Each structure stands twice: as structure tokens, then as C-alpha cells.
Amino acid sequence: MTARNSDIEKAAGVLRAGGLVAFPTETVYGLGANAEDSAAVARVFQVKARPTSHPLIVHIGGAEQLGEWVEDVPATARLLAERFWPGPLTLVLRRGGRVSLDATGGLETVAVRVPDHPVALALLSAFGGGVAAPSANRFGSVSPTTANHVRVELGDAVDFVLDGGPCQVGVESTIVDATGEVPSVLRPGGVTREDLEAALGRRIAVHSTSRVRVPGQHPSHYAPRARVVLVEPEKVIAEAELAQEVGHQVGVLLPPSFSGAQVKAHAVVAVPGSMAAYARGLYGFLRELDQRGCDLIVASLPVEEGLGLAIANRLRRAAGPRPRE
């Protein structure tokens, strides 16, 4: 048995015993508990300092298990599951009896996904049940994309951290409300709007403020300690230098069109030109700028197409609500 197999067995044992396991997915690391164990689920909320009304995603090992967790599987949901699972898509459907009401924040719907990561799938298979897991960070802060991010942020509060290397997608799953006839996006993420539209053969609405509770969509989520300021790409350098001059420790997410430019700031991260690489790196960049002591981060939004939509969404949330004028 390889070390990894023994780690997976150990992690599955921790879940069975009601403990918490941080595990890798293709999007971000999750903080997992047995989805049928109310006490274990309660600890997830406690460790994250997350309000208990904010529902978790139930991770399952394969699309064929979906029917065990939801009341019924409408044709659209089936189509999306078959097309995108395993992968960074979460489906919100009517709750089945199996999932703990604590995991759904008391809602009559449940969010379900099959993660596309060999370690996550091995864990789900060894455990055999559903794993309720939010991102493994404290409520409101930047999601972890490496095992080390989890260790630094949650430390001993987690019973076991499964290390599966850095996450390949880097932003969370796309959440689709599939309860009604017409699906809609509740949170943009790793599966793009364009891919969803191609699969569905029609346009899909993206609700940035949703009727259902999606705390990931509340202001100041995904936020580093440093304040995030968003400006037009061509103003990033001037804004950063001005803030640095008046005494801030400025971190810069330098747009690709300005890469190589000299910026008088405390720390500069050149943003990759490829949206996939940007998404993969985003949370690590924000953590790095915090770690280097920045108190202000100047950035601009990418074009909101493909993964750029999710990146822009996270940067806006990180920047929080605009101050009242």
C-alpha cells in the first residue's frame, strides 16, 4: 500500500468516526464531514466560524449516486451531471431524506457535486457516503488551493489534512440552481457559462445576487487581510504608486498587458495572460501579498468571459461593498 492509500484509509476512518478531513479537489481544498452526521457537520461550521444558516456542498463519488441525495433528478440536471461530472459544477436540487438538515442550513434544497480529483474520488470511494464540505478556510477569507494553506489557516482544528498537491482549477465550482425548469447560475466558477450554454443549447442567466442564500455571494468574501481596490487596467500602476507614496504597503496584481513594467510598490505579482493560469493562481497571489505585509492590493478585472467571469466575481467580492459616497 502506498503512503497515499494508507492516508486515504486513515482519512475515511476519521470521517466515519465523526471527524473532519481537509481534502483536495480540482477547485479548492474542502473541509469535509460525514454529510449524514449532524454533530460532525456542526463542527465544520464551528471551525470555519460560519453562520449555520449557510448551506454546504455534499460531495459524492459519482453521478449515479445523485438519486440517493435528492428527491428527484430533473432531465436538465441529469444532462448537466452527465456532461460535467466529475468536475467543477455544483447542482442545487430538492433535498432527499438522507442529507442532514444541518448541512443544508435548513433549506429544502441541497447542493451536490462530484469533484474531479483522484484523491477526492479515492476518499469518497473509501468512505462510501457523502461528504459535506465547504472550502477549508475561515468564513469570508481566501479559499485554500494547497494543503499548506489549510494547515496555516486551520491548524489543529482539522483532524486530518490529505495532501493532493496544488488545485488545478483554483476557483470554486459553478453553482447551478437546477430545481426549476430553467436553470440559472448562482455562483460563477470552474465550469464556464459558455460551456453550460453549449451543453444546454440555450442562454443561462447568472444571478450575482441570488434569492437563495449563497454566502459566497455576500460582500467581502474570498477576501485577503489587505484591502482590495479595483481600478481600470490602465490605472493600476498610477493608483498603486500613489498609494505607496502616501504610506501604504501596496501589492499589485499587474495586468498582463503591463507585464514587465517597473512599478514603485511593495510587492508586484504579474498576472498570467491565460485565464486558466490566472484562476489557478489567484488565491495564492492574494495570500502571498498578505504574507509579504501588504495592506492594500490594487487590481483590475479581467474580461468577463470564460473563467474571467469567476475571477472577476471573486475579485469584486474580495473588494467588498463600495464605501457610501
d(CA 323, CA 316): 13
Figure out which of the listed residues 8, 28, 40, 230 binds ligand TXA, where binding follows CB under 6 A: 28
- Our finding on whether 144 is near ligand TXA (CB under 6 A) is no
* Residue 186 touches which member of Mg ion, ligand TXA, none, C-beta under 5-8 Å by kind: ligand TXA
Is 302:308 a contact under the CB 8 Å cutoff? yes
33-60 exposure pattern, b = at least 16 Cβ within 10 A, e = fewer: bbbebeebbebbbebbebeeebbbbbbb
Figure out which of the listed residues 134, 251, 255, 281 binds ligand TXA, where binding follows CB under 6 A: 134
Figure out which of the listed residues 34, 100, 109, 135 binds Mg ion, where binding follows CB under 5 A: 135
Cβ neighbours around 203 below 10 Å, total: 10
Residue 23 has which C-alpha cell?
481534502
- Our finding on whether 145 is near ligand TXA (CB under 6 A) is no
- Our finding on whether 146 is near ligand TXA (CB under 6 A) is no
Whichever of 267 and 285 has its CB closer to Mg ion, that residue is 285
- Our finding on whether 215 is near ligand TXA (CB under 6 A) is yes
- Our finding on whether 118 is near ligand TXA (CB under 6 A) is no
Strand spans (E) along the chain: 21-23, 30-34, 57-59, 89-94, 109-113, 131-133, 160-161, 174-177, 184-187, 205-206, 227-230, 250-254, 267-270, 296-299
d(CA 229, CA 298): 5
- Our finding on whether 100 is near Mg ion (CB under 5 A) is no
* Sequence-separated (6 or more) residues with CB below 8 Å from residue 218: 317
- Our finding on whether 25 is near Mg ion (CB under 5 A) is no
- Our finding on whether 172 is near ligand TXA (CB under 6 A) is yes
Is 230:301 a contact under the CB 8 Å cutoff? yes
- x/- map, 242-271, Mg ion, by CB under 5 A: ------------------------------
* Residue 212 touches which member of ligand TXA, Mg ion, none, C-beta under 5-8 Å by kind: ligand TXA
In angstroms, give the least distance from the CB of 137 to Mg ion: 6
By the 10 Å C-beta count (0-12 exposed, 13-18 middle, 19+ buried), 322 is classed as exposed
* Residue 92 touches which member of ligand TXA, Mg ion, none, C-beta under 5-8 Å by kind: ligand TXA
In angstroms, give the least distance from the CB of 109 to ligand TXA: 4
- Our finding on whether 214 is near ligand TXA (CB under 6 A) is yes
In angstroms, give the least distance from the CB of 227 to ligand TXA: 22
Task: Compute the C-alpha angle 312/267/303, nearest 5°.
Answer: 20
Residue position matching grid coordinates 440552481: 177
Figure out which of the listed residues 42, 107, 229, 231 binds ligand TXA, where binding follows CB under 6 A: 107
Residue 144 has which C-alpha cell?
485554500
Residue position matching grid coordinates 470552474: 190
Q: Point out which residues bind Mg ion (CB under 5 A).
A: 135
Q: Point out which residues bind ligand TXA (CB under 6 A).
A: 25, 27-28, 30, 54-57, 88, 90, 92, 104, 107, 109-111, 115, 133-135, 172-173, 175, 186-187, 212-216
